[in-house]
Amino acid sequence: MNDYFSLAGRTALVTGGSRGIGEMIAEGFLRAGAKVYVSARKASACEETAQRLSGLGTCIPLPADVSGAVGARAMAERYLKHESTLDILVNNAGAAWGEAFETFPETGWDKVMELNVKTPFFLTQALHGALRAAATRDRPAKVINIASIDGVSVSHQETYSYGASKAGLIHLTKRMALRLIEDHIVVNAIAPGAFASNMNKVARDHADEVSKIIPSGRIGTPEDMAGSAIYLASRAGDYVVGGTLVVDGGMAWRR
């Protein structure tokens, strides 16, 4: 059974890996035996997280702003100075913007779309060669896009570009999966619900209140997120292609 979920001998890159869901995934991968690179826009936070997680295994910081095609390609270049192959890419870096319909700005649209949709595509494109070099039919490389339940069902919050970006990422995951499986690269997505993070401060600061509206009665834990990502990244998830794993305690279905 351990072989199904082991990541021993594999190398992973997790964008937005210094905190929140990215850090949960990075920690899980390290516990499963992977060598993990974590990327984040703030160098100090990236380096602090990598140092803290290094007690679990090899964790290397790669601080960078991965926004858009230019940022994605620069991130890939930084990674390729360290490694020639990549087993697992987690496109987790993301942004959100909430504002009333009447005043919602173009900047709030472009910033979110740039990071949430454009970056996953162009970073995967830039690292395609490294993923392909690591991949075989019997041990494919993996790409995991971190979407949201806001891309599955409609939130009551006025986060227009965020919901649209995550729905777009889910569809992009399907299209990328269809192409990249030809190269033995498996692409899937995770749609998280309420997890405590700087992006979801409501879940972080008011977990008891949020838990009351979640069918399972609680917010997500680091183990919930890490376990889901390990499943998709490991042998256990090799035959899941183009799927979106909803990890939200049932919240998407009661909206």
Active site residues: 162
> CA-to-CA distance for 93 and 76, rounded, in angstroms?
14
Query: Is residue 90 within 8 Å of 186, Cβ to Cβ?
Result: no
Cα atoms found within 13 Å of the Cα of residue 102, Cβ hemisphere only = 0
Q: Which amino acid is at 151?
A: G
Task: Give the length of the chain.
Answer: 255
> CA-to-CA distance for 117 and 151, rounded, in angstroms?
12
> CA-to-CA distance for 161 and 94, rounded, in angstroms?
12
Query: Is residue 19 within 8 Å of 42, Cβ to Cβ?
Result: no
